[in-house]
Every structure is written in structure tokens, then in C-alpha cells.
Amino acid sequence: MLLALLVLWPLMQIAEFRPSDLFDARNLEVMGGFLGQFFPPNMSGDFLAYALKATIETLAMATAGIALAMLLALPLGLVLTHSLSVSRIGPGSGRGAGEAVRAAARATLLILRGIPELVWALLLVRAFGLGPAAGVLAIALTYGGMLGKVYSEILESGDTRPARVLLESGSGRLMAFFYGLLPGAGQELASYTIYRWECAVRASVIMGFVGAGGLGQLMDQSMKMLNGGEVSTILIIFLLLVLLADALSVFLRKLLA
């Protein structure tokens, strides 16, 4: 703990973070006035209809983005999984080619996850124009890189002996994955995917501020019009979405247990 404090203190100085400012009387008054604008939430029928449409758009953006991300992540993650490499079973001529393919897959995943989804969205809005299409592809690219890397690590962290036995018996890589690795890692893979979907919902809200639609764009409009009640309603909806993702994760873990 002492070492952590010694490291933390100079970093806080560089970041110009001073916790005492939060308790300054003037700052407390300003924050109190700002938070007071959020109450009561706007529950009018017209605004709730707009919010419902934006919520569906946000969920569609996040879900479609994660679905595309999985299409990117699964093949790249399987390529990175050493326990599914036939060339590692014994001596053979394909070892060099296999390492080259894995290096290419690793570099691809690094590039995808190395660029934040907000930057992808800013670039893609130029191509697709304002709307959720840019957000879907931005989530797919960044989260595809994240999912692929973590999928391979999850598959490698479990018991890989069944997959190795299947490969040594002449099974293909996909069968070794489905019958050797997936039964033991399925619960953790599903849980991490749902967690990333939850993150994608949050990212969809943030990308709305750059014109990708959904709850973020509606919140941006409400904040620019200084309508705290509408912002409060949007935040409540957002928290409900996070609770939904958490409940879905618990359900899938029990289903796969």
C-alpha cells in the first residue's frame, strides 16, 4: 500500500488531480446547483416516446456491433490459440507458416483494439454520415480486437489436454475446439461476451455525442438545451440497460453451468 501511494502521488500531481477541490465551498455550491437541475426527471409521454426510440436504436447499435465483433474475433481468436495448433503436436513442415499466421492475427487484433471506438466513429461518420451505421462498425472493429485477444487467453487458461488428445487422434481444429475446449470455457466466454455487450451499450451512448445516434445524441441535445430533467430520465434508462445486461449475464452463466 505504501508503494502504491508513492507511485500514485506523483501521478496525481502530473494529472493535476486535487481531491480537496471537491470539498471547496464554491465548488460544492456549483455542483449542487447543477445536480438540482436533474430533478424531477422528465416523464412526459412525448419525451418518453423519443427516449424509447433512442433506446431501441442504442440497443440495436450495440448488439449489431457485438455480433459483427464476434464474427471478427472468433476466427482470429482460434488462430491465436496455441492448443489448437496442429504444428505444435510434433515436428512438421508447417510450424513456420503457423507462427507467421499467428503473428499476422496478433497484429490485426492489436490494430483493431489499439484505436478507440470513438476515433473509429469519428472517421466512419465521414463515410456513412450521421446515424447509427458508423457506431455499429466502430464497435465491431474495436471490440473485435478485444474479444479475439481475450477469447484466445480464456481458451488457453483452461484444461487444454482434451483438445490436444483430439488433435493427436486426427480430429480437425474446429472439432477440437467444440469438444475439447468449449465445454470447459463456454461459461467464461459467454460471461465476457455479455460484459463486452454491456460496454458496447455504454460506448453507443458516448458515440451518440459525435453523431452516431441513439441515447447519446438525445442526451447531447438535452444538455445543449440545459434540460436537466430530460438528462436525468436518459441516465435512469441507461442504468436500467446496465441492470438488464447484468441479469442476462447471470442467466447465461446459470444456463451454461
DSSP one-letter code for 214: H
**Predicted local distance difference test score (pLDDT) of residue 143:** 93
Cell 472468433 belongs to residue: 74
**Predicted local distance difference test score (pLDDT) of residue 247:** 83
Which DSSP string do the residues of 43-68 spell out, in sequence order? Answer: --HHHHHHHHHHHHHHHHHHHHHHHH
Q: Which fold has domain 44-256?
A: MetI-like fold (1.10.3720)
Residue 113 has pLDDT above 70, yes or no: yes
3-state DSSP helix/strand/coil percent for the chain, to nearest 5? 85, 0, 15
Cell 465476457 belongs to residue: 192
| Residue that wins the pLDDT comparison between 147 and 25 | 147
Q: Which pLDDT band, with edges at 50, 70 and 90, does 88 fall under?
A: low
**Predicted local distance difference test score (pLDDT) of residue 164:** 83
pLDDT digits (tens, 9 = 90+) for 201-252: 888 888 877 777 778 888 888 888 878 888 888 888 888 888 887 787 778 7
Burial of 169 (0-12, 13-18, 19+ CB in 10 A): exposed
Q: Where are the domains of the chain?
A: 44-256
pTM for this prediction: 0.80
Residue 21 has pLDDT above 80, yes or no: no
Q: Which pLDDT band, with edges at 50, 70 and 90, does 94 fall under?
A: low
**Predicted local distance difference test score (pLDDT) of residue 150:** 92
pLDDT digits (tens, 9 = 90+) for 33-62: 777 777 888 888 888 888 888 888 888 888
φ, ψ of residue 42 in degrees (nearest 5): -80, 110
User: What is the rounded average pLDDT of the residues 174-180?
Assistant: 85
